[in-house]
Structure 1
């Protein structure tokens, strides 16, 4: 290996938002081990906006979406990546697109996973592979560092604080009289239809949070479909909930830092909230919270049963596992999170 001062690393975690968040501890541990090295991260635009300014990174390189399907854009990106003279790539995503782009950098050492974590044809393009023995993806991604003889310390996310986003959300909280008022956040959105929990159930949870804990709810959203669901939650909340403004990811991080509790399914906003220190209650159906639940012992995940099948099959599955989760189960999880949170604050 080249000297620590000269080593140039590139993380190829392109998407999705939640997985970019869950990869941040790997970047932190890499920076701790190589404080003088150059560390870059290749990501698509949504995740890249959240990574800008991260203390572990020297640069965030934005990859066009579906770049493998556009030969002209792929050739341009290859040329750009070659200028960085990357020594080592790390591929926590384990897919064709992430491994191919790592290979196109010209890096001699390309670290990734053996099957089944390394999927599609990533095993052909990553030339230094490990067999994962960890369950949760945060710990699994950090396993890649064992190739570099790194033993990571305590998990840190170090989600960047972007001043503009902080100011925008501080002003909104002031307008809503929530600057000193504790509140919860609900996100009814989901990237897969099979991860969606009904808006009327989230509305019932918001009513429970106000009645039992005195917590009003802010409903966050992104895009037209989620905005519609958010409006349904607010309409059914009997004034227990209010709509958040349309937020960028950095603004969502800034808003979440003020919340006492976050409730949502296995999505980017849930993992972002956990990463900035908000206790979470996760609603799970087609994914396994042992692998991708909000990271840490303060959180609770609710699941009635895990849908079976490959990732692609579960993504396209009918929304049966999520609908098997009841309002009572999620409300009880919220109560437990709130009680544990109160006990922790009292002990502090």
Structure 2
């Protein structure tokens, strides 16, 4: 592949919120290597916040998987009219490969077929990269296009931006709750996939520990999904201490602003954990069936708590796809509190 006359670039990532956030170092590197190029992204519509306001990205083309055929054809037409010189597909599925092909770009770079049942998938690209390497963190895995293009990696730092209006709203929320001038911890106990969530009893014990023994206010967050809200309600019933409950009340950008102001983030393998790593807030995260080597919080200041079981990470939706993960549920509250205590001491907060 020649890099001459690369002036218009499209990066495709049809995956979830955290998966999109970990691609931001690629955009930063593309901007460094192609400072005058137009760099665009095409992502699922509910992940756009991970890339909006990012100065490395000139335009975003959102895709709604549930939209009708006419809407999707209109998107393809719009992408073709942009006449991209280079299209990079970071998705492993067939949809991204097909969209990359239909753009008509003369240079189409994608991962080699691994799980797809579509035998001709690789033929949709002009150049191929190695498929998933589970020994490599997702941030580095998504920098593989640079190596395929013969370009050096200049930075591995994630980037998440938001507006002054978002910052002002979060400042106001904290001020109204008496937290503007004091340290606090964000506890985000849920994931959209509940098999990645710890027990309500364990979370309640952690919140009591943070408030009673560390004298740190706790802000609890989750998405507005009814299942996640139900989990948080159960946790709240088990706590002995006052908690600032912002569950289901924040956008992703507002959550990012809140997390950046916190002294610590506690949670599970979920997009807000990656947000915490991106904004530089120390993380203590619990991992069960998913692999922390590839999907753990990016950076060196974080702590992962998991069970040393031979069966993990299995990458399944709970044990035998049951929706229940024993490797996560059996983590003892005392083990988690010990990890939190050690991290908080590093940060200058000594539990009583």
2:33 alignment partner in structure 1? 33
**Equivalent pairs, count:** 339
**How much does 1:254 deviate?**
1.0
Summarize the Cα distance change of 1:194–1:337 in structure 2 as closer, same or farther, 3 Å threshold.
same
2:200–2:235 contact (8 Å) kept in structure 1: yes
Q: How does 1:213-252 map to 2 (within 5 A)?
A: 213-223=214-224, 224-244=226-246, 246-252=249-255
Query: Match of 1:190?
Result: 191
Higher alpha-carbon deviation: 261-270 or 304-313: 304-313
Shift of 1:311: 5.4
Q: TM-score, normalised by structure 2?
A: 0.89
What does residue 302 of structure 1 align with? 305
Partner of 1:269, secondary structure, is helix
Structure 1 gaps, min length 5: 344-348
The answer to whether residue 205 in structure 2 is matched with residue 204 in structure 1 is: yes
**Unmatched tracts of structure 2, length 5 or more:** none
| d(CA) in 1 for partners of 2:122, 2:333 | 42
Q: Could you tell me which of 325, 342, 352 is aligned with 1:336?
A: 342
1:60-209 to structure 2, matched below 5 A, reads 60-66=60-66, 70-116=68-114, 119=116, 121=118, 122-131=121-130, 135-209=136-210
Matching of residues 260-279 of structure 1 within 5 Å: 260-279=263-282
Q: CA deviation at 1:53?
A: 1.1
Q: Deviations over 1:277-332 (max 9, x none)?
A: 11111111110000100001111111113546565787944312221222122222
Alpha-carbon distance in structure 1 between the residues aligned to 2:109 and 2:346 = 39
Distance 1:196 1:131 in 2: 32
**Over residues 127-172 of structure 1, what are the superposed CA-to-partner deviations in whole Å (9 max), with x where a residue is unaligned?**
3112255511101111121122221123222211222211111100
Residue pair 1:10, 1:40 contacting (<8 A) in 2 also: yes
Q: CA deviation at 1:201?
A: 1.3
Tell me if the contact between 2:289 and 2:317 (Cα under 8 Å) persists in the aligned partners: no
Contact 2:189–2:222 at 8 Å: present in 1 too?
yes
Contact 2:158 2:278 in 1 (8 A): yes
Please say which of residues 34-43 and 188-197 is displaced more in the overlay: 188-197
Matched residues in 1 for 2:200 and 2:283: separation? 18
Aligned to 1:322, the other structure's residue is in SS state helix
Q: CA RMSD in A?
A: 2.3
Q: CA deviation at 1:119?
A: 4.7
Q: CA deviation at 1:179?
A: 0.9
Please state how far the C-alpha of 1:187 moved relative to its aligned partner: 1.1
SS of 1:332's partner is helix
Q: Kindly tell me: are residues 98 and 313 of structure 1, through their superposed partners in 2, closer, same or farther at Cα, counting changes over 3 Å?
A: farther
Q: Distance in 2 between matches of 1:312 and 1:103?
A: 32
Shift of 1:123: 3.3
- The alignment's TM-score, normalised by the length of structure 1, stands at 0.90
Show CA shifts across 1:31-59 (max 9, x none): 11111111101112221123111011001
**Aligned match of 1:318:** 323
Within 5 A, what are the aligned runs for 1:39-50? 39-50=39-50
Q: In the superposition, relative to structure 1, how do residues 266 and 124 fare at CA in structure 2: closer, same or farther (>3 Å)?
A: farther
CA offsets, 1:253-290, max 9 Å, x none? 11111011111111111111111111111111110000
Hey, what's the Cα distance between the residues in 2 that align with 1:313 and 1:214? 35
**Offset at residue 120 of structure 1 (A):** 5.2
Structure 1 residues 120 and 47 mapped into 2: Cα distance closer, same or farther (>3 Å)? farther
Between the aligned partners of 2:329 and 2:50, the Cα distance in structure 1 is 31
- Residue aligned with 1:47, SS: helix
**Greater shift in the superposed pair: 327-336 or 50-59:** 327-336
**Distance in 2 between residues matched to 1:24 and 1:317, nearest whole Å:** 33
Q: Provide Cα deviations, 1:180-224, integer angstroms capped at 9, x if missing partner.
A: 111111112212232121222111111112233221210111122
Q: Distance in 1 between matches of 2:192 and 2:62?
A: 21
Q: Distance in 1 between matches of 2:17 and 2:35?
A: 26
C-alpha contact 2:290 2:315 (8 A) present in aligned 1 = no
In structure 2, relative to structure 1, the CA distance for the partners of 1:40 and 1:275 (3 Å cut) is same
